[in-house]
Amino acid sequence: MSAYDAFTTVLARKEGHVLTVSLNRPAQRNAINGEVHAGLREILALAAEDADVRAIVLRGEGKAFCAGGDVGTMVGAEEGGATSPALGVLSTLDATRMIDMLLAVRQPIVCALQGFAMGLGATIALLCDVVVMAEDAVIADTHVNIGLVAGDGGAVLWPLLESFAAAKWHLMTGERVNGLDAVRLGLALKAVPAAELDDEAQRLAARLAQIAPLAVQGTKATLNRVIRDRIHLLLETGLLLEGATMVSEDHHEAATAFLGKRPAVFTGR
């Protein structure tokens, strides 16, 4: 039994020089909770010590790549239903750890994005080195739609990949971008029919795995300095403002409305 076989909410299998990592909460559209975060961290730590792994494919089981942070954990259990301030702070810290974790992976990561990637799910996808999407898949940073400032990875990554004007619109509205438009805007490298997505991601990963690994890894580390510099510029302010909206009435209303499957009514408080 391989060490990669010991996980449940995140699955991993190695074939040749390619490690395929799958988020595995399909009933929850692969929303990120503590178990997924821990499993992904441990698998990537194993990969870091595995010289046989030269490329990684990151995908989601079921109909979606990743729905983002688990909204079910965002509604506080305090009397009166107020959102917990501590939970808000922990949520922003988790997003920061996820960014650091994915940037630290030395092997190139190919994201195979099916269905949708929302909020933190979009950030995870865009932190990958290559994004290939199903033509009918959608990606969006939906922080504002649940009453939160898009202050974490979205504020860093979207303006780096598409025009600043387009990034402002997408981050301030949470508007969804399909696979074909994502390629046009620079958010993804390729868009393919959904039935071809996994094969295309594996093909791209296999091509990366055939190139001199030290050269590929060093090139990735060099280019990721651009992202790290942007993080130093933006993240502290963004997370401070996002943390403030975590404890707002509008965020609690958005999370409650989402779970109740009704439109949210915002008051600006």
Confidence at 82, pLDDT banded by 50, 70, 90: very low
If DSSP codes are grouped into helix, strand and coil, which group holds residue 135? coil
In 114-203, where do the E strands start and end?
116-118, 130-134, 138-140, 177-178, 190-192
Which 8-state DSSP code applies to residue 235? H
Confidence at 250, pLDDT banded by 50, 70, 90: very high
If DSSP codes are grouped into helix, strand and coil, which group holds residue 210? helix
**In the 3-class helix/strand/coil scheme, how is 66-114 assigned residue by residue?**
ECCECHHHCCCCCCCCCCCHHHHHHHHHHHHHHHHHHHHCCCCEEEEEC
DSSP letter for each residue of 148-171 = ----SHHHHHHHHHS-HHHHHHHH
Q: What is the mean pLDDT of residues 159-173?
A: 98
Confidence at 84, pLDDT banded by 50, 70, 90: low
Residue % of the chain over a pLDDT of 70: 90
What does the pLDDT read at residue 127? 96
Token readout for 253 is 């209303």
Taking the complete model, does pTM exceed 0.85, yes or no?
A: yes
What does the pLDDT read at residue 213? 98
Q: Please give the domain boundaries of the chain with CATH numbers for all domains.
A: 3-195+211-260 (3.90.226.10)
